[in-house]
């Protein structure tokens, strides 16, 4: 997360500064790196959620609780996490469109939003116990 924040800060500095001719290249790197980070986080979180929710399911099965409210909660957490990951990917896709349009001002706000969405994603992963990184 610290790396992602530092990269986003560097991108913002570059994009806001008038002397940075390669803002598109820098931004494109940011988008690719963010996509990769979200993908990797997703790959790490999936087995962790699987373990966590499977354990809950087995506990419900043991007491014949077919409604299994704890599993509903676990499933909701997984879906909430996936929505956040998907939001990052959609923002990255939008970023590529903005690059093609040369829309620097819109790109600045998108990079800010992307940084916040990534931060929220790591916070969710931490909150749900699928990663133990400190923000």
Partner 1 sequence: MEAIITAAIGAAVKLVELIFLGTKSKDLSQDEIDREIKRIADKEQSLVDKWWNIVK
For 36, 39, 41, 58, the CA distances from 50, given in Å and listed in that order, are 21, 17, 14, 12
Kind and range of the H or E run holding 58: helix 23-62
Least spacing, CB of residue 38 vs partner 1, in Å: 8
Whose Cβ is closer to partner 1: residue 28's or residue 119's?
Answer: 28
Whose Cβ is closer to partner 1: residue 6's or residue 25's?
Answer: 25
Extract the tokens encoding 36: 């990769």
The yes or no reply on residue 10 touching partner 1 (CB under 8 A) is: no
DSSP 65: -
Least spacing, CB of residue 8 vs partner 1, in Å: 17
Q: Count of alpha carbons within 13 Å of 109, Cβ hemisphere only?
A: 4
Rounded Cα distance between 19 and 79, Å, is: 43
The yes or no reply on residue 46 touching partner 1 (CB under 8 A) is: yes
Least spacing, CB of residue 18 vs partner 1, in Å: 14
The yes or no reply on residue 113 touching partner 1 (CB under 8 A) is: no
The yes or no reply on residue 20 touching partner 1 (CB under 8 A) is: no
């Amino acid at each position: 997360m610290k790396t992602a924040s530092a990269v986003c800060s560097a991108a913002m500095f570059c994009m806001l500064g008038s002397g940075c001719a390669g803002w598109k290249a820098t931004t494109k790197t940011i988008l690719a790196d963010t996509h990769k980070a979200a993908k990797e986080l997703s790959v790490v979180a999936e087995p962790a959620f699987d373990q966590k929710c499977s354990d809950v399911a087995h506990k419900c099965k043991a007491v014949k609780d077919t409604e299994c409210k704890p599993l509903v909660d676990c499933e909701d957490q997984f879906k909430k996490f996936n929505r956040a990951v998907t939001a990052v990917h959609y923002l990255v896709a939008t970023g590529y469109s903005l690059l093609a349009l040369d829309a620097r001002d819109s790109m600045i706000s998108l990079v800010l939003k992307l940084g916040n969405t990534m931060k929220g994603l790591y916070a969710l992963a931490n909150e749900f116990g699928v990663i133990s990184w400190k923000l």
